[in-house]
């Protein structure tokens, strides 16, 4: 069967081609899903030298298990699930933590956020809006995100950059939707606090 990388085949057709022995079609499957996989690997694996191996391991697992994939979820979600679990396994092997245990449990954090008055109170002469407009924001923001625990980085990336829904993120991470929301709430709160702290420090 001839295969053209530009042909507009559906995910189902693509999977059928690969399962039928057309390994070249697997390249198209990789190109279709590598954006999500790359984000997951970059956010969960801090050591740059390990990322290429982990990403390739993800796709070798996808290839090995593709015949058993019955489209219970979207292809990209299923690949994302494998990527997340592969990264998780990497973190476990390296004995790295997914979320800082010193942080409050997600349920507690959300409750705290609902009940308590704002913990971040800007000074009278401090204008966060103006500060956040700073042209250096991207660099500072990127660095601040890198300082977050792997799960927080991942959730922020999946929700705000990949624009996945809570449900899709829940499927990828095997976390309940409520837990995803609570972790994301906590991640954004920590991120905002650290950014504002950085700006305040720079102002001094």
Partner 1 sequence: MTLHLSEYDLQLAAEGAPLPVAAAEHLPSCPRCQAQLAAYQQLFAATASLPPSAFDFNLAAAVLAQLPPPKPAFPWILVLVGGLVLGMVGAFVALFGSLLVPVLQSLSTGLGVGVALVIGAIVAGQGLELLAQHRRQMRQLTFS
Please work out the total of residues on this chain that contact partner 1, with binding judged by CB under 8 A. 57
DSSP reduced 3-state for 184: helix
Q: Output the CA–CA distances (angstroms, integers) from residue 183 to 38, 113, 170, 179, in the order listed.
A: 21, 12, 11, 6
What is the closest distance, in whole angstroms, from the C-beta atom of residue 123 to partner 1 in the complex? 11
Q: For partner 1, which is the closer residue by CB, 133 or 204? A: 133
147-176: which residues touch partner 1 (CB under 8 A)? 156, 160-161, 163
| Residue showing tokens 């679990």 | 85
Binding of partner 1 by 122 (CB under 8 A): yes
Contact 175, 184 (CB under 8 A): no
User: For residues 79 and 69, what is the distance between their CA atoms, to the nearest angstrom?
Assistant: 10
Binding of partner 1 by 13 (CB under 8 A): no
Single residue of 9, 16, 19, 22 touching partner 1 by CB under 8 A: 22
Contact 24, 3 (CB under 8 A): yes
Binding mask 34-73 for partner 1 (x = CB under 8 A): xx--xx--xx-------xx--xx--xx--x----------
Binding of partner 1 by 93 (CB under 8 A): no
Binding of partner 1 by 185 (CB under 8 A): yes
Residues 6+ apart with CB under 8 A from 33: 75, 76, 79, 80
Binding of partner 1 by 2 (CB under 8 A): yes
Picking from 77, 86, 81, 87, the residue whose alpha carbon sits closest to that of residue 32 is 77
Binding of partner 1 by 135 (CB under 8 A): no
User: For residues 100 and 127, what is the distance between their CA atoms, to the nearest angstrom?
Assistant: 30
Binding of partner 1 by 113 (CB under 8 A): yes
What is the closest distance, in whole angstroms, from the C-beta atom of residue 73 to partner 1 in the complex? 21
What is the closest distance, in whole angstroms, from the C-beta atom of residue 196 to partner 1 in the complex? 7
Q: For partner 1, which is the closer residue by CB, 127 or 203? A: 127
């Amino acid at each position: 069967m001839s295969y053209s990388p530009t042909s507009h085949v559906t995910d189902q057709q693509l999977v059928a081609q690969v399962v039928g022995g057309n390994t070249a079609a697997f390249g198209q499957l990789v190109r279709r899903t590598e954006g999500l996989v790359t984000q997951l690997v970059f956010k969960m694996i801090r050591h740059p030298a390990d990322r290429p191996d982990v990403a390739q391991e993800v796709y070798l697992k996808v290839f090995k298990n593709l015949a058993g994939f019955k489209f219970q979820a979207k292809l990209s979600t299923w690949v994302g699930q494998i990527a997340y679990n592969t990264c998780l396994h990497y973190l476990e092997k390296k004995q790295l933590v997914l979320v800082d245990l010193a942080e409050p449990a997600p349920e507690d954090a959300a409750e705290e956020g609902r009940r308590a008055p704002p913990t971040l109170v800007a000074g009278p002469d401090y204008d966060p809006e103006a500060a956040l407009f700073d042209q250096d924001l991207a660099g500072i923001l990127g660095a601040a995100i890198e300082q977050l625990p792997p799960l927080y980085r991942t959730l922020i990336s999946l929700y705000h950059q990949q624009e996945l829904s809570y449900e899709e993120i829940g499927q990828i991470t095997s976390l309940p939707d409520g837990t995803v929301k609570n972790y994301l709430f906590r991640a954004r709160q920590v991120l905002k606090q650290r950014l504002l702290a950085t700006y305040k420090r720079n102002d001094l």
